[in-house]
């Protein structure tokens, strides 16, 4: 008799990406293959595992603090998949 394994909702994967191309590749591999978009760089794959796909430029902006972090955070809050160019523009003000 075959057993059926279900993914636990507490399992998540975090990926730090270097550019938009890498961000798109991970995002599209999950969402475009039966997954589901969520907000702020989060998505689920077809098995229900949550992925946080975060470009390093966003992490760097948040680490910078101050107005730069605030602008990057506000830009991110409007996104599902993170847009690297929009985050870079927000960082510059």
Range of the domain at 50: 12-92
Assign 53 to helix, strand or coil. strand
Q: Judge whether 69 lies within some domain.
A: yes
Asked if residues 58 and 70 have their Cβ atoms less than 8 Å apart, the reply is no
Q: What is d(CA 53, CA 43) in angstroms, rounded to the nearest whole number?
A: 8
Q: What is the pLDDT of residues 22-33, one digit of tens each?
A: 999 999 999 999
Residue 1 counted as domain residue = no
pTM of the model: 0.86
CATH at 38: 3.10.180.10
Q: Count how many residues are written for the chain.
A: 93
Q: Where are the alpha helices (DSSP H) in 6-65?
A: 20-31, 56-64
Q: Looking at the domain assignment, is residue 5 inside a domain?
A: no
Which residue shows structure tokens 């591999």?
A: 29
Assigned domain for 72 exists: yes
The count of domains in the chain is: 1
Two tokens, residue 54: 């975060």
Tell me if 27 is assigned to some domain. yes
Residue 78 lies in a domain: yes
For 38-52, write each residue's pLDDT tens digit: 999 999 999 999 999
């Amino acid at each position: 008799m075959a057993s059926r394994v279900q993914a636990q909702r507490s399992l998540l994967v975090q990926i730090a990406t270097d550019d938009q191309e890498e961000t798109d590749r991970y995002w599209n591999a999950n969402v475009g293959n039966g997954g589901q978009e969520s907000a702020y760089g989060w998505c689920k794959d077809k098995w229900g595992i949550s992925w946080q796909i975060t470009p390093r430029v966003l992490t760097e902006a948040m680490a910078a603090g101050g107005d730069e972090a605030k602008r990057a955070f506000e830009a991110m809050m409007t996104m599902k998949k993170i847009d690297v160019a929009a985050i870079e523009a927000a960082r510059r003000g």
